[in-house]
Amino acid sequence: MVELMDVVGVVADADYTLHLQFENGEKRVFDMLPYMGKKPFMSLKGPLFTKAFVDYGTVCWPGNIDIAPETLYDRSRPA
């Protein structure tokens, strides 16, 4: 079991990828494209996606949209 790690940095690209940095210093890339047709993420299509920010250890967007840090870690690849 992987210990839960907080996200400490994020850069969201227009191609719906998240470039993440975790508290252990690890950098990973998460592809959000498979999620963009599902609620609540479908409302992020377009420039709003790039407004991602880190709050309380996870990635968030305006409108109270977030994604769990364990999902981001488990389903991402090393950068």
The answer to whether position 1 is within a domain reads no
Given this model, what pLDDT does residue 4 score? 80
Percent of the chain with pLDDT over 90: 94
Is residue 53 assigned to a domain? Answer: yes
Q: What is the pLDDT of residue 2?
A: 54
For residue 53, give the CATH number of its domain: 3.30.2020.10
Residue 2 placed within a domain: no
Structural domain span for residue 58? 7-78
Amino acid sitting at position 61? W
CA 36 to chain CA centroid, nearest Å: 12
Distances from the Cα of 66 to the Cα of 44, 56, 61, angstroms: 11, 11, 6
Tally of domains within the chain? 1
pLDDT value of position 17? 98
Q: Please indicate, yes or no, if residue 50 is contained in any of the structural domains.
A: yes
pLDDT tens column, 42-77: 999 999 999 999 999 999 999 999 999 999 999 999
Does 44 reside within a domain?
A: yes
Q: CB-hemisphere CA count at 13 Å for 74?
A: 9
Q: How many helices (H) and strands (E) does the chain have?
A: 1, 7
